[in-house]
């Protein structure tokens, strides 16, 4: 996991490989509410394989000739996996979905119904996972070790690291786009996304990105595969600007960024915050993920700050998973911890040459962030690890906004991608 440096369990790790097949990584949303069957809004329980949530949402909106704003989902799900989740369309009748129900490759509409309320981001309790770890030398012994790790994590919590999905994989650059935003250069922000080819990308994609870096927008657009829909969105906008103005200015790059779906453009700063958060969690976890320390900023399960209570009272709440130490998702108004813990958090900023005000992003204030405190651990439940002929089958559930790969990282002691 990018910028994650600390393990909290002492086992040597099972090693192994995940996501060899899409079916090896199964995710099912645990919904906050179940649709009633009546109301003006359509809810769809779908299963997708090898596709992002946003891609499916955009395809449905396009083919039904609907505004993307009418589409809803509770959370993004993994691409390289088989996943089940609810999608929603506001002010829409289920019967009008008929033309597209069998249209999409690797997308099944399992249930379509109506509901009074719209489906909004964050309306889920968590996700349950069933993940096969392959290429294990001794599955029986490794399953026993994995079960010990899961039980330990069930007892003390799992480090709340952000997984590779937050940054993109194999092209892990989303946080670098966000970093450019904090430096207040829109040209560099767009360039970090469209240009800047990575060595392990396919040659034809590297050529398209290199053409952008060389200033040849038309060639970059021609070479950019149609599947790179977001790069092409921005390139299309920039080409219009170039034709209109003969040159590109900061307003041109601003328009290019605003051409992206809002969930994606907002992800840039969030990814950079996540990169820094992982470093802060690494430092704080080394002191004990379930231990209270003077200066800690503590939150409850509703993410409210806990101001009162003796150290002993707070520790008891932490032992019962009613309270949690936090680290900062750095932003313009986020408070830092006190004492030595605050000094550790300031070190993370200093290493990046940052101040909190940089997260205001004055040229794109709608993409800036005030920041917040986020728990450094999360609870897991319904855990198991079983030996199979293919390896180890792990099962567990985790809260929304947390990453299964943080659990797998502790089991495997290798990068779980």
Reading the block at residue 76, the tokens are 């993004």
Q: What are residue 92's phi and psi, to 5 degrees?
A: -150, 145
Give the pLDDT confidence score for residue 382 in this predicted structure. 97
- Cα(360)–Cα(79) distance, rounded to whole angstroms? 31
The domains found in the chain, sorted by start residue, are 33-122 (3.30.2350.20), 177-263 (1.10.1510.30), 268-378 (3.30.2350.20)
- Cα(13)–Cα(267) distance, rounded to whole angstroms? 32
pLDDT digit of tens for each residue in the chain (417 aa)? 888 999 999 999 999 999 999 999 999 999 999 999 999 999 999 999 999 999 999 999 999 999 999 999 999 998 999 999 999 999 999 999 999 999 999 999 999 999 999 999 999 999 999 999 999 999 999 999 999 999 999 999 999 999 887 887 778 899 999 999 999 999 999 999 999 999 989 999 999 999 999 999 999 999 999 999 999 999 999 999 999 999 999 999 999 999 999 889 999 999 999 999 999 999 999 999 999 999 999 999 999 999 989 999 999 999 999 999 999 999 999 999 999 999 999 999 999 999 999 999 999 999 999 999 999 999 999 999 999 999 999 999 999 999 999 999 999 999 877
Give the pLDDT confidence score for residue 214 in this predicted structure. 97
Tell me if 390 sits within 8 A of 132, measured CB to CB. Answer: yes
- Cα(354)–Cα(69) distance, rounded to whole angstroms? 34
Burial class, 66, CB count within 10 angstroms (exposed 0-12 / middle 13-18 / buried 19+): middle
- Is residue 383 within a helix (H) or strand (E), and if so which, with residue range? strand 381-388
Note if 63 is an active site residue: no
Burial class, 293, CB count within 10 angstroms (exposed 0-12 / middle 13-18 / buried 19+): middle
- Cα(221)–Cα(144) distance, rounded to whole angstroms? 52
- Cα(60)–Cα(289) distance, rounded to whole angstroms? 42
Give the pLDDT confidence score for residue 168 in this predicted structure. 77
The DSSP bridge partners found for residue 87 are: 44, 73
Q: Indicate which residue of 78, 199, 249, 313 is catalytic.
A: 78
Reading the block at residue 345, the tokens are 């958090």
pTM exceeds 0.75 for this model:
yes
Strand order in the sheet with 372-375: 298-300, 323-329, 372-375
DSSP symbols for 188-211: HHHHHHHS---TTS-HHHHHHHHH
Reading the block at residue 390, the tokens are 């293919």
For 34, 37, 270, 412, the CA distances from 88, given in Å and listed in that order, are 12, 13, 24, 36
Give the pairing of strands 25-31 and 82-89.
parallel
């Amino acid at each position: 996991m990018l910028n994650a440096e600390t393990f909290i369990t002492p086992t040597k790790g099972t090693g192994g490989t995940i996501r060899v097949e899409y079916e090896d990584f199964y995710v099912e949303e645990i919904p906050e509410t179940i649709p009633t069957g009546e109301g003006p809004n359509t809810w769809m329980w779908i299963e997708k394989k090898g596709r992002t949530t946003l891609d499916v949402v955009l395809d449905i909106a396009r083919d039904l000739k609907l505004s993307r704003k009418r589409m809803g989902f509770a959370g993004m799900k993994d691409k390289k996996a088989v996943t089940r989740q609810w999608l929603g369309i506001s002010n829409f009748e289920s019967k009008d979905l008929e033309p597209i129900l069998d249209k999409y490759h690797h997308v099944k509409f399992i249930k379509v119904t109506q509901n009074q309320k719209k489906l909004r981001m964050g309306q889920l309790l968590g996700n349950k996972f069933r993940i096969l770890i392959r290429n294990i030398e001794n599955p029986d012994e490794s399953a026993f070790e994995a079960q010990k790790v899961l039980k330990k994590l069930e007892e003390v919590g799992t480090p709340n690291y952000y997984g590779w999905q937050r940054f993109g994989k194999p092209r892990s650059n989303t946080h670098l786009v966000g970093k450019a935003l904090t430096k207040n250069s829109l040209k560099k922000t767009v360039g970090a996304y469209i240009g800047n080819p990575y060595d392990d990308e396919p040659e034809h994609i590297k050529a398209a990105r290199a053409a952008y870096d060389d200033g040849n927008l038309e060639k970059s657009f021609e070479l950019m595969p149609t599947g790179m829909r977001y790069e092409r969105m921005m390139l299309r906008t920039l080409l219009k600007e170039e034709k209109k103005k003969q040159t590109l200015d900061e307003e041109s790059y601003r328009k290019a960024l605003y051409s992206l779906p809002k969930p994606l453009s907002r992800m840039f700063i969030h990814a950079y915050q996540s990169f820094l958060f992982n470093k802060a969690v690494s430092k704080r976890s080394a002191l004990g993920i379930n231990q209270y320390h003077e200066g800690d900023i503590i939150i409850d399960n509703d993410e409210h700050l806990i101001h009162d209570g003796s150290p002993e009272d707070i520790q008891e709440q932490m032992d019962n998973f009613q309270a949690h130490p936090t680290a900062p998702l750095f932003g313009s108004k986020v408070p830092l911890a006190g004492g030595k813990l605050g000094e550790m958090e300031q070190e993370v900023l200093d290493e990046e040459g940052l101040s909190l005000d940089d997260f205001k992003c004055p040229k794109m204030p709608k993409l800036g962030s005030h920041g917040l405190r986020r728990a450094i651990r999360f609870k897991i439940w319904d855990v198991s690890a079983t030996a199979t002929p293919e390896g180890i089958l792990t099962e567990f559930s985790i809260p929304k906004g947390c990453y299964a790969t943080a659990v797998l990282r502790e089991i495997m002691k290798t990068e779980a991608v």
